[in-house]
Amino acid sequence: MLKVFNLPDLGEGLTESELLSWKIAVGDTVAVNDVLAEVETAKAVVELSSPFDGTIAELHGEPGAVIQVGAPIISFDLPGAGPDKTDNAPASDAGSSSLPDGRVPTLVGYGAAVEGAGRPARRARAGRPAAPDPVTAAQPSGSPSSVPVPAGATATLTAERPRSTPPVRKLARDLGVNIALLAGSGAGGVVTREDVAAAADGARPASASPSGTDTLTEAAAGGVRTLGGRPRTEEEPIRSVRKATAAAMTSSAFTAPHVTEFLTVDVTESVELLQEVRQRRDFRELKLTPLTLVARAACLALERTPELNARWDGDGGRIIRQNYVNLGIAAATPRGLMVPNLKDAQDLDLRSLAIRLAELTEVAREGKLTPEQLSGGTFTLTNVGVFGVDAGTPIINPGEAGILAIGQVRRMPWEYRDEIALRQVMTLSLSFDHRLVDGEQGSRFLADVGAVLARPGMALALF
Distance CA 26, CA 130 (A): 9
Distance CA 223, CA 65 (A): 38
Kind of pairing between the strands at 379-382 and 327-329: parallel
Name the CA radius of gyration of the chain, rounded: 26
Of 147, 218, 434, 457, the active-site residue reads: 434
Phi, psi of 454 (to 5 degrees): -70, -40
DSSP assignment string, 12-73: TT--EEEEEEES--TTBEE-TT-EEEEEE-SS-EEEEE-SSSEEEEEE---TTPEEETTSEE
- Nearest Cα to Cα of residue 105 among 46, 54, 172, 34: 34
Annotated catalytic, 60? no
Burial class (CB in 10 A: 0-12, 13-18, 19+), 460: exposed
Between the alpha carbon of residue 67 and those of residues 14, 41, 73, 308, the distances in Å are 11, 10, 8, 38
Burial class (CB in 10 A: 0-12, 13-18, 19+), 73: buried
Distance CA 99, CA 104 (A): 8
Do 445 and 259 touch, CB atoms closer than 8 A?
no
Looking at the DSSP bridge assignments, the partners of residue 406 are 428
Phi, psi of 190 (to 5 degrees): -70, 135
Cis peptide bond N-terminal to 231, omega within 30 = no
Distance CA 426, CA 19 (A): 43
Catalytic amino acids? 434
